[in-house]
Homo-oligomer: A and B are copies of this chain.
Amino acid sequence: MALYVKKFGGTSVGSVDRIEAVADSLKAARDAGDDVVVVVSAMSGETNRLIELAQAVTDEPAPREMDVLVSTGEQVTIALLAMALLKRGIDARSYTGSQVRITTDSAHTKARIQNIDQHNMREDLDAGRVVVVAGFQGMDEQGHITTLGRGGSDTTAVALAAALKADECHIYTDVDGVYTTDPRIVDSARRLSTITFEEMLEMASLGSKVLQIRAVEFAGKYNVPVRVLSSFKQGPGTLITFDDEDDMEKPVVSGIAFNRDEAKLTVVGVTDIPGCASRILKPVSDAGIEVDMILQNVGSDNRTDFTFTVHRNDYRQSLELLQALGSELDVRAVQGDEHIAKVSIVGVGMRSHAGVASRMFDALSAEGINIQMISTSEIKISVVINEKYLELAVRTLHSAFELDQVEAREE
């Protein structure tokens, strides 16, 4: 008899029918003799409805009151799911984040979990009940309602699994696991039966939006085994592991991630003196714009080119900030390009294999794809290319690293 914490997101509980389907799957788990704590999000659309109500009242809703408001979304779902379980003869009780004593700091709308009192839940589990918990929310030490920010339900689930020392934390999504790359782009993309925690972090941050980064970090910190599963079809999903010991047996590259949400900005011919990079980036970061890749080449004539990428939504504003700066600093030109894509290969196997980068660049070059920027980390190599080559690049790399044949990682 195992204890599982299972999390279902907004789409999985988006209607009464979907909630009934979740109840069916929980009944199957109970019938198999397992103990279950289930974490749910607000029904899809509900959080947006509540935010629109707040925006109808004021342009700047107080964060404390925003949390009181949006936390009702999950509260509706937990009650409906508990009712659906009781209807099936499965004893169940629903709890808000406050009730289950998920204590957070007081950073409203983006609070961080500090502590979970597992006493109540344990009592219910011992009594044979399914415990239904509202994701995404908690309370601070003064008893004020807090929320963890969007996607926080994943973090709630992982945190509960850690507190209860659950056997596994199951995250149900609209995909049936983590793939070597997006199957919509590469037909031969394959589900990975396991992926390491570090790889998952890189895959998540690069746009494979299966799991929230904070939840993955949390899982890593507390060593919680997390399995990504489909809400809609049966299957073993993908297990996220934390043991790097068998690196040698793994393929060099586990997956290809990509992202077409970025834009590139270049300051051409800037005088290469100490502090010039920070002078260029300061107005951008002061405007609250997040910078992803940064590249500065060795220059000549005491001048250099400085390039960075931002989210495409921040492109126009960033360009204006740089143009204003360009007239202050001595630069030859300010250039930008919205039509770029970032493609990354990810794999812990890279650590012990040489020549991965050159294999990547060769494969792209053989297809005539020009590489505009390169950035690397220990288990990832990213390149920026012209957006129009994105699909071709992903397919090329997928076969270059033999990801259509990842038998070795299947269980």
Complex: A60 Cα to B89 Cα, angstroms: 12
Over the window 102-119 of chain A, the binary record of Cβ atoms lying under 8 Å from chain B Cβ atoms (1 yes, 0 no) is 000000000000000000
A66 interfacial contact with B, CB 8 Å? yes
Give the contacting residue for A68; candidates B19, B61, B82, B87; CB below 8 A.
Answer: B82
**With A68-B75, A86-B62, A93-B64 as given contacts, are A80 and B57 in contact (CB-CB < 8 Å)?**
yes
CB distance from A27 to the nearest CB of B (A): 14
Number of copies: 2
The CB with the most chain B CB atoms within 10 A, among A20, A57, A96, is that of: A57
**With A75-B68, A94-B68 as given contacts, are A83 and B99 in contact (CB-CB < 8 Å)?**
no
- Do B53 and A16 touch (CB < 8 A)? yes
Give the contacting residue for A75; candidates B64, B72, B84, B87; CB below 8 A.
Answer: B72
CB distance from A8 to the nearest CB of B (A): 15
Instruction: Give the chain B neighbours of A96 by CB distance below 8 A.
Output: 68, 145
Instruction: Give the chain B neighbours of A19 by CB distance below 8 A.
Output: 57
- Do B98 and A57 touch (CB < 8 A)? no
CB distance from A133 to the nearest CB of B (A): 12
CB distance from A56 to the nearest CB of B (A): 4
- Do B57 and A68 touch (CB < 8 A)? no
Complex: A19 Cα to B96 Cα, angstroms: 26
**With A16-B53, A56-B16, A57-B19 as given contacts, are A76 and B86 in contact (CB-CB < 8 Å)?**
no
A 40-96 contacts with B by CB, 8 A = 50, 53-54, 56-58, 60-62, 64-66, 68-69, 71-72, 75-76, 78-80, 82-84, 86-87, 93-94, 96
A interface residue numbers (CB < 8 A to B): 16, 19-20, 50, 53-54, 56-58, 60-62, 64-66, 68-69, 71-72, 75-76, 78-80, 82-84, 86-87, 93-94, 96, 98-99, 120, 143-145
